[in-house]
Structure 1
Amino acid sequence: MIDQIQNVGSLTKVSGLGSITTDATSSTTTTVGSTPGSMTGVSFASVLGDMANSTVNNLKQAEVASFEGITGKANTREVVDAVLAAEQSLQTAIALRDKIVSAYLEITKMQI
């Protein structure tokens, strides 16, 4: 089910998001500048891509844990923890999507 999600198709037109992978080993470390609010080496697209990757990975882990719970290979607590983590990730992604959409609508209302 979740394996069908390979990348974020609606964001691929933005430069830098065409190569989003769902592999957990492809994460990169970022450095934060010395002054508050300044970040070096981090772009908005990479932050969105990392968030999308972690959300997809959490959903996959919850799916695997659910199937293991059904077959009796995992206990109930592990399944519940995985599903709750996936739900929290999904709710965060939905909230971010809503904020982006509302910001876009506000920008389109601006007069030039």
Structure 2
Amino acid sequence: MALDIALSSIPPLESSDFGSAGRSAAVAPTPDGAAGFAEALKGMAENAVTNVKGAEQLSLKALSGEADIREVTDAVMSAEQSLQAAIAIRDKIVTAFLEVSRMQI
């Protein structure tokens, strides 16, 4: 379930997003792909923060009577999903790091 939430928060790729080698044109290609992964994580984190801030602002507007309860509920649910996805990804990264650190050389 957490993986479904994490995958649903990833925006779809457009054909214009790729260079001639099939890598993202916005990120400088590296042999190990680390920059692409870091940029993807950064983008997902920024998206989660934006969703949470937007939900907070809409909640404050609802308190003053400027926003509909349905809009607030949708924004808060979206922010919750983004936050759960970020937490699930963080947990997977920590688990992977711990597994790699336990490997014997």
Shared fold, TM over 0.5: yes
Correspondent of 1:49 among 30, 42, 55: 42
**Number of corresponding residues:** 80
Correspondent of 1:30 among 17, 24, 30: 17
Report the counterpart of residue 58 of structure 1 in structure 2: 51
**Structure with the higher helix share, 1 or 2:** 2
Identity %: 50
Structure with the bigger RCO (C-alpha within 8 Å, sep 6+) is: 2
Quote the Cα distance in structure 1 between the aligned partners of 2:49 and 2:70.
Answer: 21
1:71 matched to 2:64? The reply is: yes
Residue segments in structure 1 that go unaligned for 5+ positions in a row: 1-28
User: Which amino acid in 2 is paired with 1:64?
Assistant: Q
Distance change >3 Å, CA 57–CA 76, structure 1 → 2: same
Superposition pairs for residues 1-112 of structure 1, below 5 Å? 30-31=17-18, 39-41=22-24, 42=27, 43-112=36-105
Residue segments in structure 2 that go unaligned for 5+ positions in a row: 1-15, 28-35
Quote the Cα distance in structure 1 between the aligned partners of 2:40 and 2:17.
Answer: 10
Range with bigger deviation, 75-84 or 41-50: 41-50
Quote the Cα distance in structure 2 between the aligned partners of 1:67 and 1:33.
Answer: 46
4+ residue stretches of structure 1 with deviation over 4 A? none
For the aligned residue pairs, the C-alpha RMSD in angstroms reads 1.9
TM-score, normalising length: structure 2: 0.70
